[in-house]
Structure 1
């Protein structure tokens, strides 16, 4: 079943998220700022009305008219002029009884002030109030009118209709709303462009797809046997997989090298050269604190631009070991070479005897060689039924004679045809390495003999290889199967390690019996099924 993807794409989610954040931010800003602006607008109108009221109250014309020094009729035109200039709704001048001396409506002059909020002003106090008058609900600023001697002779009321106040506040808020709308629009456009940009940067992949790809790539990098090391343009290590870390630990480089300069961790590295030249270094051998590695280094390029370099490497010993292990090819080659060399030596002897015309001796020599060959071949063919192993044993017998030793097979040797031909390759590896070790052990001994026995019973193959060498002391018995351990010099110690590994691969076991001065005997027991019970 195909896995369902996310309900919304990354681009949609980012667009919605950014728009929501912008909208929320602008809404909070509108709430905070618009209220402040509304309060400031109303306060400004109150201050305006109070200022106008003070100006009128301090006018000599008004004071003198209310004090009886001028005609009260002069107050009406003066107040109307001020009202028109200041764009307020009304300026009402009243005496101490609250009788209007001015009003926008000439018919209201001489009538009592309406609203009921003028009392405090007639008592000598300034105030601002909201009340309903003849012109409707209005914001009113009251100021007492006082003569120079300190006597109050009336009051001034300057009014602004409440509708006009609310309209002014609304106009102030409208600017905020327009700004919020424009900001939201810009936010939406920016969110769309940002989402598309991020989407392009991520190659159009969704986060879940990126996470899956990262997990798969990490798993692949960690599963390969080759060490992988990557650096950036500053020569700093950005990646080292598990195989690389294991090899570094063997070389004595501990800790996580990621983030370090590659030259500080790995001596004689060619990665900096590849970074500088942009040319790959292939199949190069490098010494890593005593471990020889084979490495391939190539530059990393993204869109035609160098972004670093990557190296894959492996222990040269392992590579060599794999080459030697491939179906016993090396062992087959040695055996064939020995046979060819022995055959060439015999041909040279025959050629010499022909030139010297020793025909009688030549006949005897050829008969002896033929008899020996037929005897060996016949014995092996009768007792070793697998042709690959039979040919290999013949080659080893020839090689033994070449180095001055004798390889002897027991008379009771027998090995049927295996049910699984692949088993023979492992047996060749076991037999070939044990015989090679035995030949090296007897090379300086007076008696150079290796006894070999194959026996088969109850689906178990037993292989014994015994030499007349100097033997192995008890301290070395526990170490000879370790990889790289050898008493014969450097770059050795693989033969018995391969023997042990092949035996373990076949679920067998190996035993060693040895005493100093009395030779060494290896006994290998392996599960072995013959082909369809064939025993002929």
Structure 2
């Protein structure tokens, strides 16, 4: 049996039990009320008869007679006629009048006149009124006994009694009507209980999508296991776009605090995420805070009903950073390939001279190559950079840029004496800046060039990268992820991922990446065919604590830098 059905049956059984108890209580109260009304009516009639002057006088006269009155005399007496008239008017079972010895002076059964009553009368003759249910010669009845006092001025001791009774059938004449009313009310109550139980069942199944409690328990267990056991962030939105569930991973990735019951727009998430949720699509390379995210929004439906959206969030920061570093390795590998090719050409020259028997010229050629050392990179002023890895990195990018017609050089005022002790982040940031600069230079006009400035400031590395490209539009924020679906991607300066990632990598170390100069294109002459010339954009970067320092090293920026152990 389904749980909802059990709930309905239990609620109905409870309502039936409550209604039955209430009906029984109301019935008992009604019966008690009818009994009380009958007793009060008997008492009031008995009091009325007992205070009648004629009754008082005749009863006092009969009590004063030492003999026993005869039934024949009493049958036609005034008390018998009065008692009969009262019985006929009020519908009582009997009206009995006795003297002080309990002798019946008036009775519905004329054969009982002159005989003592069958019930105790001593308490009444003591001056008390008695109301009770008793068994008499006429059967069980609700009866009231009232003392009859002598006429005025003749004493206070009772001289007899008046007894009035109602038979049970007359007392409970209204009982069927009372029972019918209680039964009708009980039926209405049970009907309302059944209707409310059915409505509650329908509401229950609609809210739980027809799932039973044991299924809900299993669902919660599975949900907890899935949400806590996966590395992805999961955000569940209802049909109104309100957050109903958010696991810890999603809170960390999106920087959310207490998101339940709020919309994503109110929580301040990236606009690209809102677009993905609204359109039910996926988005990659979305920058949110200091992270690069992949998001995937999927609509959830059950039985044709829209239940909301589930948003999956994955952290791609480390993956994108690794991709940038691998791109740098690829560039260096390409540069080594070029060097290997050039070195092979030199060996072919030496081998050719030896094969021709020109040993003296071959020795001179090899000696010249020994003095020149390895194949030089085509980078002007590269000797100003003392770190071999940075030297190779710039050379590798220069070789690739040369294939695209861009000349890469090191700024003449550059000076870097300290070696790098953390290559990965430097390679990623510098590689991104140089790649963007080369791309901008290719989009510009001749001569196409990129200039790199490297400076040591204690343990910090300061970089500048300038290009000869067309510059940067002032209203474009290069450090924020742009929506390519709206056509606002700057194809010259990248897809909006590399620069935000470079800034994030630098800021992780306490540094930064910024735009120094946007570059202003100038018109040359009035000739429309003349090529415009511009200074291009200039980017700057500071990476903290990436250089090895000596105790008394002087930085390229002209500031003596104490060793770390001597720093305050």
Scaled to the shorter chain, the TM-score interval is: 0.5 to 0.7
Residue of structure 1 equivalent to 2:436 = none
* Residues 1:12 and 1:218: Cα distance change in structure 2 (over 3 Å): same
Alignment of 1:139 onto 2:119? no
SS at structure 2 position matched to 1:104 = coil
Residue of structure 2 equivalent to 1:506 = none
C-alpha displacement of 1:113:
1.4
C-alpha displacement of 1:154:
2.9
CA distance, structure 2, for counterparts of residue 443 and residue 12 of structure 1: 76
SS at structure 1 position matched to 2:293 = strand
Residues 43-74 of structure 1, C-alpha deviations (whole Å, 9 max, x = no match): 22211111121222234553454456998623
How many residues are matched? 383
Residues 452-506 of structure 1, C-alpha deviations (whole Å, 9 max, x = no match): xxxxxxxxxxxxxxxxx98865xx64x5567978858674599xxxxxxxxxxxx
TM-score (norm 1): 0.55
Residue of structure 2 equivalent to 1:199 = 205
Give 5+ residue unaligned stretches, structure 1: 1-7, 346-364, 373-399, 406-434, 445-468, 495-513, 517-536
Alignment of 1:73 onto 2:26? no
CA distance, structure 1, for counterparts of residue 429 and residue 327 of structure 2: 23
Q: Check whether the contact 2:39–2:132 (CA below 8 A) recurs between aligned residues.
A: no
TM-score (norm 2): 0.52
Task: Within 5 Å, give how 1:229-240 maps onto structure 2.
Answer: 229-232=235-238, 236-240=242-246
Residue of structure 2 equivalent to 1:257 = 259
C-alpha displacement of 1:126:
1.4
Give 5+ residue unaligned stretches, structure 2: 63-72, 353-373, 380-387, 398-414, 431-460, 464-498, 506-547, 551-568
C-alpha displacement of 1:14:
1.0
Residue of structure 2 equivalent to 1:111 = 115
C-alpha displacement of 1:237:
3.1
C-alpha displacement of 1:290:
4.0
C-alpha displacement of 1:115:
1.0
SS at structure 1 position matched to 2:11 = helix
- C-alpha RMSD over aligned residues: 5.2
CA distance, structure 2, for counterparts of residue 370 and residue 86 of structure 1: 151
2:217 to 208, 211, 227: 211
* Residues 1:515 and 1:290: Cα distance change in structure 2 (over 3 Å): closer
Task: Within 5 Å, give how 1:132-211 maps onto structure 2.
Answer: 132-146=135-149, 149=152, 151=154, 152-161=158-167, 176=182, 179-180=185-186, 183-184=189-190, 186-188=192-194, 190-192=196-198, 194-195=200-201, 197-211=203-217
Residue of structure 2 equivalent to 1:368 = 348
* Residues 1:64 and 1:337: Cα distance change in structure 2 (over 3 Å): farther
SS at structure 2 position matched to 1:39 = helix
C-alpha displacement of 1:315:
3.9
Residue of structure 2 equivalent to 1:410 = none
SS at structure 2 position matched to 1:114 = coil
C-alpha displacement of 1:274:
7.6
CA distance, structure 1, for counterparts of residue 82 and residue 376 of structure 2: 143
CA distance, structure 1, for counterparts of residue 168 and residue 32 of structure 2: 14
CA distance, structure 1, for counterparts of residue 185 and residue 349 of structure 2: 112
1:48 to 41, 48, 56: 41
Residues 10-53 of structure 1, C-alpha deviations (whole Å, 9 max, x = no match): 12431343234324433553565444444333222211111121
Residue of structure 2 equivalent to 1:92 = 96
CA distance, structure 1, for counterparts of residue 424 and residue 270 of structure 2: 33
Q: Check whether the contact 1:98–1:112 (CA below 8 A) recurs between aligned residues.
A: yes
Residues 137-173 of structure 1, C-alpha deviations (whole Å, 9 max, x = no match): 3332011233551555432101134576688779856
CA distance, structure 2, for counterparts of residue 304 and residue 192 of structure 1: 24
CA distance, structure 1, for counterparts of residue 391 and residue 209 of structure 2: 63
Residue of structure 2 equivalent to 1:128 = 131
Q: Check whether the contact 2:60–2:99 (CA below 8 A) recurs between aligned residues.
A: no
C-alpha displacement of 1:211:
1.2
Residue of structure 1 equivalent to 2:367 = none
CA distance, structure 2, for counterparts of residue 371 and residue 87 of structure 1: 151
